[in-house]
Chain A
Amino acid sequence: MADSTQLMAHLLRRAGFGVGPDEVAAFGGLSYAQAVDRLLNYEAIPDTVDANIGQPGYLGTTSNGAFSPNSVETDAQQRWLFRMVHSPRPLEEKMTLFWHNYFATGFDKIAGVVTAPNATRLMAAKASEDPVGQRGQIEMLRANALGSLRDLLTQITIDPAMLIWLDGDTNTKAQPQENFGRELMELFSRGVGYYTESDVYAAARVFTGVNLTGDLRTPNAAFSWIYRANQHDTTAKTFSFPIYADGGKTIPARPASAGTQDAIDLINALAMHPETARRVASKLYTFFVSETSAPDPSAIDYLATVYLQNGSAIRPVLQAMFMSPQFQDPAVWFTRYAWPVEYVVRSLKEVGWVGYSAASALSPLVNMGQQLLEPPNVAGWVLGQSWFSTGAMLNRMNWASNLAANQQFRIATAAAGAKSSPTALVDFLTSRLTTDLDPAVRADLINYASAGGPWTGSDAQLRAKGAGIVHLILGSAGYQFV
């Protein structure tokens, strides 16, 4: 492949989920800059992907009854996987996943409070499909995927799932709840070391009275945040960092009727702090550019500056990042540890999905360490090498076996033109499964294809060896990187 093609594939692995036939068709004729533009400004591309669920030719889904992605968790997970495989707006899905990890909210605790169907609604319902127009948190994140952190912080503060997850629903004047206030500063903005315990107490008081309303365990209840003025602590709140442009660190005492302004003041301040800018820039850099080498401080400074100059908007930061030399450098290609979801979606895109059900990937994803809608805790998944325990890696290999078995007829059909020799078969399949192939690994694959009896190129042999080679490539160390 020419370098420009490889660069495009790198862009699509990082800013999307890899290169399947649809990406080849959509991006094949574009320059790099045009491709970046298409990825970033996706609003121009109609979002009709969900209409294809259940249609022939697409990744399948399997449900216990009617497919109910707005009220059954496993169906919601399948819909999201479907979108990652088939959406013509891959960066939208990629950033939604990024924010899901950033604002990591877990289904189980919410289900315990509002029942599992309501928890699915609060996490994943599309407002247009919900009986009362409830919008799930993931939909909110998707709608703001490239928007500003300020808007995201505002929306997450009043998000019903978050109000349950971090106990904002019980935050009252008499007994302030610290959970959300702490994580807002530790994980959602400034970061550990950039706030004090007294900041936590002050932040808890800022959000007193910002609670949840809705009949918790009633099917299809409408949930919303509510401001209970009589539960708001109206006294002044002083922080260790500036809240106002003049450097003032104290949110003044206000009448209860104006109490929500406390939250607006704090969020506006946090979103625009240089500490937050650098933290967000570092998170994005680690996600998109490189996690195996320390970020170039000048690159972080630059991205943080772009962030602050654009009022915490994410789109310009990504634009700057994708166009940067650090992102395009071939030295960073295939160096980021693929998240389990990325690994599964990329495998489906590159191997094939017809006749495969997203449901077949759900348990394996749990065992690989990443269950959508169920991050382990509010800090999200532990990334990088931590994905690769022995057990998790075996589960990647075993899922690869499952997919290869399912796709063996299609693999054999596609490889019919390469049946002349084991080498031809290996070279055909490795050209299709983009990886940074080590020559020694290629030799091992050819040895495997040649082992166990004479080469005949029969259909049965193509199926067995084709599926075996796909299994081995997907299960190799080299394929675990995007």
Chain B
Amino acid sequence: MSITRRTFIKNGVAAFTVTLAVPRFVSDLAHAQGAASRNLIILDLSGGNDGLSMLVPYNDPFYYSRRPTLGIPASTVLQVGSDSSGRALGLHPKLAGLQGIFNEGRLAFIQRVGYANSSRSHFFGTDIWSTANPANSSGSGWVGRYLSTLAPPLNPLVAWNTTGDTPHMLQSPSVAVASIPSVSGYAFASPTGGAEGPLERAAATSIASHIPVDKPQVAFVSTTVQSALATLDTVAAVGQVTPSVTYPNNGFGQALRAVAGAMVKGTGTKVFWVQTGGFDTHASQDTIADNGAYVKLMVTLNDGLTALYTDLKNQGLLSNTLLLSFSEFGRRITENGSRGTDHGAASVMFAMGGGVRGGLYGTAANLSPDPQNPTLENAAGDVTFETDFRSAYAKVLDNWLGADSVAVLGGDFRKTGIDFV
């Protein structure tokens, strides 16, 4: 694609200057050269994921004393070694597939990601993670701003959202996002069919071509209709793809199936959005029993991601794929009276894909309830952040997408020590 070369040269000059002081960015730049054919899958674990139940600090006595019913027994966690501070960590027992990917070196966990004065509001928190701007979270999304840096003309499927509503993170000043909650439902119907169908579709296309300048809201919807009609045939082709594995028959699994299908068909999509919810576990969180609420969340996550990973690996598409997870906040360390956990602060992100340098990044919190404990905040109630979430975004923008993180994020959040990609 033409943009790559231009972007490369422009960034190359800037990066070369930096090279003298920070050689690491040279290798980053080289790494980013393959960006044109790469894609990014954003995974939203909505509701506020309890990172301490996903990546368990099973040697921390306070983990068990503060979570008498939610603490996952050390004997059952799936060990993934220790982080750089020597803290032993294990995955939730239902994440066996992810443990396998971790062992292949293609899964990275970034611990204690967040920001100062973390919002405990779902909506405000999601807006902050979406805009990458804790000071003003009402603007466009950071991924949307990345899309706006791509040189036109853009493929109408450049951004593929698998949910019904365009996520804030993908909202762009200039780029339309295709929202495809169901590949099979993404079609043009006709009341009487036959010869009328194509005539109606032609008429609908013509109607949508009128963009009234004095009615911006009508213009917006017309543009949406145009995008929808322009992508119908490609999406239908994606629906014909037979995957190399069986995806779970749930919303998350089928969304991932569509993502892989789009890659197989070469739709040119740069950003995919998938979501799995239910993480707002205020009550009866149950991290242990087979039908426990959090256990089911982990099963859904593990089975879906394992299917995607295996499918992409089978089809030779893994090297072009990076999946990055986020959640609007972590959860309170001490369990509440409802055997659940309330809204907390920093939590864990993970990245999966062929270009990922697997491992454990950052350090686990010490869960001692001592109010002076520097790894905790809110009177030692919540985990405090060690890595600014925008540093994780910067790594993806610079090293994977070949973009300029400083421009997209509106500041320099580049950080060493989290070289997960």
Contact = CB atoms under 8 A, between A and B. Distances in A.
Interface of A: 167, 169-172, 174-179, 182, 186, 192, 197, 200, 292, 335, 337, 367-369, 376-379, 382, 385-395, 397-398, 401-402, 404-405, 408, 436, 438, 440-441, 444-445, 447-448, 451-452, 463-465, 467-468, 470-472, 475-478, 480-481
Given A177-B282, A444-B207, A398 B192 contact: no
Interface in B212-241: 212, 215-222, 224-225, 227-228, 231-232
A451 B202 CA distance: 11
B154 to A, nearest CB: 14
Contacts of B413: none
Interface stretch (B88-96, B175-183, B303-311, B396-404): B175-183
A464 B189 contact: no
Nearest to A164: B283
Given A391-B178, A451-B199, A481-B218, 18 more contacts: A175-B336, A182-B120, A369-B164, A379-B123, A382-B165, A388-B220, A389-B179, A390-B177, A390-B180, A390-B227, A394-B232, A397-B189, A397-B204, A398-B187, A402-B191, A448-B199, A468-B196, A478-B218
7 contacts: A186-B123, A197-B378, A379-B122, A392-B164, A392-B181, A401-B191, A471-B190
B153 interface: no
A357 B393 CA distance: 48
B188 interface: yes
Interface of B: 120-124, 161, 164-166, 176-182, 185-192, 195-196, 199-200, 202-204, 206-208, 210, 212, 215-222, 224-225, 227-228, 231-232, 280, 282-283, 336-338, 340, 342-343, 378
Contacts of A468: 190-192, 196, 199-200, 203
Contacts of A386: 165-166
A389 B161 contact: yes
A408 B196 CA distance: 13
Q: Which 5 A-B pairs have the closest CB atoms?
A: A175-B337, A389-B179, A170-B338, A405-B191, A477-B221
A390 B231 contact: yes
A369 B165 contact: yes
A170 B282 CA distance: 10
A377 B126 CA distance: 12
Contact of A292 (B188, B191, B216, B225): B216
Nearest to B223: A477
Contacts of A178: 342-343
A186 B122 CA distance: 11
B164 A391 contact: yes
A443 to B, nearest CB: 9
A258 to B, nearest CB: 23
A392 to B, nearest CB: 5
B199 A452 contact: yes
B272 to A, nearest CB: 14
Given A192-B121, A448-B203, A477 B179 contact: no
B282 A167 contact: yes
A177 B191 contact: no
Contacts of A376: 165
A113 B196 CA distance: 49
Contact of A385 (B120, B178, B220): B220
Contacts of B338: 167, 170, 175, 177
Given A178-B342, A441-B210, A452-B196, A389 B164 contact: yes
